[in-house]
Each structure stands twice: as C-alpha cells, then as structure tokens.
C-alpha cells in the first residue's frame, strides 16, 4: 500500500494542452516535494512546499499543497515536448525518509 | 563533477551471488540515503545515515540487505544471496543536513539485474 497515491499513472497529451497531476494521502506531511526523473538518471527536485495552502509557481508549473497538508497537485500550463518525463511526488513525515508516489509518466507530443 | 556518483552503473549477477553497490555523496553532505526503484514504481526508502548517528534501517526489506558508511563519505549497499525480486535501480541521495524538506540530491543509480 502506497502512502502517497499519485494519479494519473500515465498522461499523453498534445503540445499546448494543460494538465494536472495529483498526490493524495490520509497522512499529514511536514513537507512535500515534486521531482522530475529522466531515463537513466536520478530524480531532480522541482519544488518543496511546507505550508498548508501554499502555492508555488515555476514558470509554467504551479504546485499546490493542500490546506491539511495531506495532498498536493502539479499543474502544467501549455505543455511542451520538453516537459516529457516521470514526475514524482514525495512527502516527509519524520526526519530523513521520503515517501514517494508511484509517479506520473508524462508524454507531450509536438 | 560535484554531484552524487554511483558505481557500477549496471550490474548483472546470478541468483544467490552477493553484490556491492557504491555511493559517493556530495562533499560536505552529512546525510546519505538509499532508495530502490522497481520498474514502473516510485522510490522505496531503504536506509539513511546522518553523521555519526545510528542509521535508520527501517526500510531494509530483509536481513540480506545491509549498508555501511565511512564517516561522512562513501557508502556501500550490500545484498547477499541475491534473488530475482532484488532486480531494480538502486538510487543514492545526499543532503546537506538531516532536515524535513531538505533537498536530496540523487545519483544516477545502479541498475541491478539478477538472473
């Protein structure tokens, strides 16, 4: 059983479309992170959110942390082929370990 | 480079053999983590080290798995009597300190295949 349920698992869209990826849990997290992973590489951190209700923007990417700190979303506006990759959410409850979702494989077609 | 490095990048072994995976963290990082990523899955926590404190081994799946770290430098993950279900990518990460939300920098991983 995954502590963080991430959806959808796969997303295939055309360039220019918008999309949202969700991470949900029944647990409360002290912080939540979003990573992007390319084939053959380790995950690279995109953002960390720590406050309930927090919204962070990174160019065309918008990240939101739920008020109760149990869920988060990643919204991409006007997706581009360069956005293709595996997106992972990860939450921290105690010091050290991160709990990862299964990931969302995003493919953006030109 | 100044990033986390791991070796080997790929390892193919026969069932029942022991393997050692190596991780070189970013210099000065006190915290080091090991994760496992099975095909199509997210990352599964295995163990972390913080300075000279006792490591958190709560994620190790069985007593066939062990890890060591020398001071604040290199770490090795050892899997004894490998099984086919051990096939996965093993990822190492380091962070400047052990703090909730602190950025973990990942290496490229070691792809382990057990035949």
Query: What is the mean pLDDT of each successive set of 10 residues along chain A, which is 110 residues long?
Result: 89 97 95 92 92 95 96 97 96 85 95
State the smallest CA–CA distance between residue A103 and chain B in angstroms: 6
Torsion of CA A51, A56, A62, A66, to 10 degrees: 10
Say if the Cβ atoms of B101 and A50 lie within 8 Å.
yes
Q: What is the pLDDT of residues A62-74, one digit of tens each?
A: 999 999 999 999 9
| Mean pLDDT within B96-109 | 79
What letter would DSSP give residue B40? T
Q: Which residues contact A97 (CB under 8 A, 6 or more apart)?
A: B33, B45, B48, B56, B58, B59
B53 three-class SS:
coil
Any B CB within 8 A of A88 CB:
yes
In the block, which residue shows the tokens 């992972």? A88
| Residue ranges per structural domain of chain B | 32-97
**Structural domains in chain A?**
5-109 (2.60.40.10)
Nearest CA among B80, B90, B93, B88 for reference residue B24: B93
The two tokens of residue A6 are 């991430």
Mean pLDDT, residues B49-57: 88
Whether A2 sits inside 8 A of B59 (CB atoms) is no
More confident residue, B18 or B50: B18
Residue A90 sits at the vertex; the CA angle it makes with A85 and A93, to the nearest 5 degrees, is 175
Among candidates A2, A42, A48 on the partner chain, residue whose Cβ is nearest the Cβ of B106: A42
The per-residue b/e assignment along A61-98, b for 16 or more CB within 10 angstroms, e otherwise, is bbbbbbeebbbbbbbbeebeeebbbbbbbbbbbebbbb
Q: What is the DSSP letter of A31?
A: E
Pairing of strands B110-114, B10-13: parallel
The CATH number of the structural domain formed by B32-97 is 2.60.40.10
Nearest to B107 among A31, A42, A99 (CB): A42
Q: Look at residue A4 in the predicted model and tell me its pLDDT.
A: 93
Cβ pair A92:B101 closer than 8 A = yes
């Amino acid at each position: 059983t995954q502590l963080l349920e991430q959806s959808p698992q796969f997303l295939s869209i055309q360039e220019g479309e918008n999309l949202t990826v969700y991470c949900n849990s029944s647990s409360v997290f002290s912080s939540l992170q979003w990573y992007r992973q390319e084939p053959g590489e380790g995950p690279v951190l995109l953002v960390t959110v720590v406050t309930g209700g927090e919204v962070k923007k990174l160019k065309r990417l918008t990240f939101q942390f739920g008020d109760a700190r149990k869920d988060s979303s990643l919204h991409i506006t006007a997706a581009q082929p360069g956005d293709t990759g595996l997106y992972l959410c990860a939450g921290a409850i105690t010091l050290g370990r991160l709990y990862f979702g299964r990931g969302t494989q995003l493919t953006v077609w030109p | 480079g100044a990033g986390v490095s791991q070796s080997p990048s790929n390892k193919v072994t026969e069932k029942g053999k022991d393997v050692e995976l190596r991780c070189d963290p970013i210099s000065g990082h006190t915290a080091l983590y090991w994760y496992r990523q099975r095909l199509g899955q997210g990352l599964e926590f295995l163990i972390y080290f913080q300075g000279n404190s006792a490591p958190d081994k709560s994620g190790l799946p069985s007593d066939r798995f062990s890890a060591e770290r020398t001071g604040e430098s290199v770490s090795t993950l050892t899997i004894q009597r490998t099984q086919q279900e051990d096939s996965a990518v093993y990822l190492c990460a380091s962070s400047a300190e052990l703090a909730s939300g602190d950025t973990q920098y990942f290496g490229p991983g070691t792809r382990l295949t057990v035949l």
